[in-house]
A and B are shown apart, each in its own frame.
Chain A
Amino acid sequence: MNALVVNRVLQIIPVLIGISVITFILIALAPGDPAEISLRAILDTDNPSPQAISLMRAEMGLDQPYHIRYFIWLSRVLQGDLGYSYISHKSTIHEILYALPTTFYLATLAMAISIIVGIPLGIAAAVRQNGLIDHVCRLFSVVGNATPEFFLAILLLLFFSIQLKILPVAGSGGIQYFILPSLVLAVGLIAITSRLMRTSMLDVLEQNYILTARSKGLDRGTIITRHAIKNALLPVLTYMGTQFGWLFGGAVVVESIFALPGIGRLTVDAVNTRDIMVLQGCMITFAIIFVVVNLAVDMSYIWLNPAIRYDEV
């Protein structure tokens, strides 16, 4: 098991290197001279002198060949130097750390909603297979999966903010600004979670230990709550763990609609304003969150269930 853990941790090294290479290539391809852009930010002027620019180019290593530039860039990134925003003139790290809590809050709320709604829905659907709830659950998952977040957001806005006028359209502040965005993010995940929970429950209900429990004369309610749910929950919860990173991707669109100042909106704004330094910081942040979340999920899976075949992970 220790070998498994070490192996799994070592696996993220090539992935992290790859992420850094892709980010570097995209930034190197981006239009605009990074030296000039940085100077504008540092000196707070629109027209830095050509001498200053050429000095800055040398200092940033931009006159070097690409492979050397990569290592210069990488060592700066590893020291936490992601450059300065072309627009706000603040350091990229500062912008990202300021935006991250909003996105974390949003993703956590969405995750909580999906667990609270999706898991009971899946259990109910499995307990009465082909019953009413099962059909509702299936319909919900099919439609929920086919609805893009931005369209769902519009439907909810039309209903809650424009018709009923009980929730704000956009902005940030208290929890009322997070209700619609997290609901929008949660729907896609509920669709998947309820299906997964249903399948997992049906699987478990066919197992021999359920048959044993039934032959002992236990009533159906006890079998389901005491034996089935616990066992069916594990694969669903681990799967949901991997989706936490996916929620961050969804946050890109959702934060833009509801004007929440999270990292998703920061990314879109950076693209719109060609703010390359912030964009690279956001890309690296997204990728690291994704990698760390997946690592944590795999670890918990190994920890909870040592019998798994590792090459299946």
Chain B
Amino acid sequence: MDAGCVNLQDRFPTLRGIMDVLRGNVTLTAGLVIFFTLFLITILAPVIAPHDPAEQDLGNRFASPTPEYPLGTDQFGRCIFSRTVYGGQISLAIAVISTVACVLIGILVGMYAGYYPRLDAPLMRMTDIFLAFPAIVLALPIIAIVGPTPLGIILAILLPGWAKFARVIRSSTLSVKSSGFVEASKAAGATDTHILFRHILPNCYGPIIEIATLGLGSKIITITSLGFLGLGVQPPIPEWGTMINQGLTMLEKAPMIALSAGSMIVLFVLATNLIGSELRKIIDPRSDTIVI
């Protein structure tokens, strides 16, 4: 195995192997626990939430926290706790779908650019173009064209999002390409496609998982930013960014609306950053990650 590239499959062969890594790494464990807890809360929202997120109790507006309404109620008397629990569903779903799509495009563009020297310059210049806009600047026109629907948001994230993935996967491809087993496989008469998907891709899994985790966090920030700007999923569907937008105007009266949704976002992004930077250390122990 090439020394410069750790194969995660070799590193985590069994459940016991995974447990060993986790036992020695508090940060990674904490990140994973927060991450999966938030996912579980979101998926199990119908079980956890005491109220329907859209259920209005107009006689009980801006209520303080009570056992019935653990975080109080908002301007329509809706349960803030229930809305916060439900609020992750659409954001997390969009984040996962768009991250997977970014990874797939990134793999295709990155591997081909890294493997075929002829394709490298054109593909990378194309990538540069998409990296020349701040992500939100490319996302906004897509929303203007497609509209603030889940599909529009996914496209708005995908268009500027895949480029960074392509960059990382290209550089992993370049480092794997020159290893002995790729040469051997070539000598044995393997086709390029076979080498790309059977030899190079599995050796890039580590960096891919790492950037995908970090990407999940940054996509949550973009999605909720769009929601906050009023360009995300439209009310009455509960969504963290939209909740914060509504909470901003009622900051004095009901700070809980913005604070509860905001804390969920911070916790989620924190978890992805912790997991991503710890994975980075496992993959390349000499590096000190700067999470961006």
**Interfacial residues, chain A to chain B (CB-CB below 8 A):** 11, 14-15, 18-19, 22, 26-27, 29-31, 141-143, 145-151, 154-155, 157-158, 162, 192, 195-196, 199, 245-246, 248-250, 252-253, 256-257, 267-268, 270-272, 274, 276, 279, 282-283, 286-287, 290-291
Chain A minimum-CB-distance residue to B134: A249
Contact of A18 among B129, B135, B221 (CB under 8 A): B129
Contact of A290 among B133, B221, B291 (CB under 8 A): B133
Question: In the complex, A267→B135 CA distance in Å?
Answer: 13
Question: In the complex, A172→B72 CA distance in Å?
Answer: 34
A195 to chain B, nearest CB (A): 5
Q: Which residues of A contact B140 (CB under 8 A)?
A: 252, 267-268, 271, 279
* B195 on interface, CB distance cutoff 8 Å: no
Q: Which residues of B contact A245 (CB under 8 A)?
A: 134
Question: In the complex, A267→B231 CA distance in Å?
Answer: 12
A115 to chain B, nearest CB (A): 17
Chain B minimum-CB-distance residue to A275: B144
Question: Could you pull out 13 A-B pairs where Cβ atoms are within 8 angstroms?
Answer: A30-B144, A145-B292, A150-B225, A154-B259, A155-B262, A157-B251, A192-B290, A246-B134, A252-B229, A268-B231, A272-B230, A272-B231, A276-B144
Question: In the complex, A181→B228 CA distance in Å?
Answer: 16
- Tell me the dominant secondary structure on chain B's binding face: helix
Asked whether, in the complex, the Cβ of A286 is within 8 Å of the Cβ of B244, the reply is no
B153 to chain A, nearest CB (A): 13
Asked whether, in the complex, the Cβ of A248 is within 8 Å of the Cβ of B134, the reply is yes
Q: Which residues of B contact A274 (CB under 8 A)?
A: 144
B150 to chain A, nearest CB (A): 17
Question: In the complex, A252→B247 CA distance in Å?
Answer: 19
Q: Which residues of A contact B266 (CB under 8 A)?
A: 143, 146-148, 151
B157 to chain A, nearest CB (A): 14
Q: Which residues of A contact B18 (CB under 8 A)?
A: none
Q: Which residues of B contact A290 (CB under 8 A)?
A: 132-134
User: Which residues from 92 to 149 on chain B have a C-beta closer than 8 Å to any C-beta of chain A?
Assistant: 125-126, 128-130, 132-138, 140-145
Q: Which residues of A contact B126 (CB under 8 A)?
A: 18
**Interfacial residues, chain B to chain A (CB-CB below 8 A):** 125-126, 128-130, 132-138, 140-145, 217, 221, 224-225, 228-231, 241, 244, 247-248, 251-252, 255, 258-259, 262, 265-267, 269-270, 273-274, 288, 290-292
Question: In the complex, A267→B225 CA distance in Å?
Answer: 14
Q: Which residues of B contact A276 (CB under 8 A)?
A: 144
Chain A minimum-CB-distance residue to B125: A14
Question: In the complex, A45→B140 CA distance in Å?
Answer: 28
Question: In the complex, A203→B262 CA distance in Å?
Answer: 36
Given contacts A158-B255, A252-B134, A252-B137, contact A151 B270 (CB under 8 A): no
Asked whether, in the complex, the Cβ of A146 is within 8 Å of the Cβ of B273, the reply is yes
B177 to chain A, nearest CB (A): 16
Question: In the complex, A290→B132 CA distance in Å?
Answer: 6
Question: In the complex, A149→B130 CA distance in Å?
Answer: 23
Question: In the complex, A26→B145 CA distance in Å?
Answer: 8
Q: Which residues of B contact A246 (CB under 8 A)?
A: 134
Question: In the complex, A279→B274 CA distance in Å?
Answer: 36
Given contacts A145-B291, A148-B225, A151-B244, contact A283 B145 (CB under 8 A): no
The 4 A-B residue pairs whose C-beta atoms are closest, nearest first, are: A249-B134, A18-B129, A151-B262, A146-B269
